[in-house]
Each structure stands twice: as structure tokens, then as C-alpha cells.
Amino acid sequence: MVKQVLFILAFFGFVFGLQALLCPSKFTPVGDKCLYLSRTKVNWYVAARQCRKLGGSLLMFDNEIEAIITTAYLLNEGVSFNDSWRSSVWMGLDSLGQYPSFVLSKTGDPISYPYWGKDQPSSNTNELCGAYANYKSWGYFNNACTYLALFVCETRGYYP
């Protein structure tokens, strides 16, 4: 499925003459976004701060195609999602100050593409920050904000 989506995107790019997305330093073009993958495990608060320092925010998926493309990119980059929730990356959603509702960390707005994994979010009131993993199924899940995980920042690039 991922190969089919990538082929279709490449085909349309060739046919319509789309130009390459240009990203800030340290970021890599992936789909419509520029991503920065940290290889250091940190808690959610540090991850969010690091993304702001880089001029971005923690990653959130806007739709299913973006989730597929980004997951393929992360797997290709060696992110191991083979240890359930322990192999996760922090995402830009939280329930800080508004439990049980999860919102976009950057704006406080509702999540436009609620890509929750099976049985998520859980009702554990100690798990107020969002992560992404293959935990029972691919998708978001809530975790303790102090857990140490990799993180992905996103920012917008531009076309020349």
C-alpha cells in the first residue's frame, strides 16, 4: 500500500511538474511537510521545547496518506516500532489541563485527524501526552509525559 501511494505521488509530481519542497536546515521533506527526527529519547515537555527551538512543533498527521508516508519514512530511517508502546515517538497532542479531551498542543484546537490506536485514548489520568506507535494497532495513544521517547518535529517548507 505504501509503495502504491508513493508511486502515485511521484507520478503526479512528474506529470504536473511539481517542484521539490525546500525545508529549513535540519529538516527533511516528507510529503507536504518538513520533518526533523530526533535520535535522542526525551520526555514530552523537552520534545515540545526542542521543536519550538527549531522553529517547528511536534508532528501531527493531517490525514491517512500523511500517516502512511510518514510511517514509511520513520521505518526507513530505522525507527523501531517493534516493541509496542515502548517504541514510540512523541506527537503534538495532549490533555494537559483539559482531561479527558486531547487537543493539538500547538494551538489547543480539536484534533482534525484523530488517528487513535485501538482502545485509545485510555482512561489513565496519569497519561496526558500523545505518542504514536504500533500498540495493538497503528495510531496515537496516550502516555505519561515523563516517559522517554524519540520525537518528530514538523514545520512548513516552501516551493521555489
Enter the C-alpha cell of residue 40. Answer: 535522542
To which residue does cell 516500532 refer? 81
* CATH number at 24-113+125-155: 3.10.100.10
Distance of alpha carbon 158 from alpha carbon 153, whole angstroms = 16
- Burial tier of 16 (Cβ tally within 10 Å: 0-12, 13-18, 19+): exposed
Neighbours of 61 (CB within 10 A): 25
pTM of the model: 0.85
Paired sense of beta strands 150-155 and 57-58, if any: antiparallel
The pLDDT profile of the chain, 160 residues, written as one tens digit per residue, is 545 544 454 444 444 445 689 999 999 999 999 999 999 999 999 999 999 999 999 999 999 999 999 999 999 999 988 878 888 999 999 999 888 899 999 999 999 999 999 999 999 999 999 999 998 899 999 999 999 999 999 999 999 8
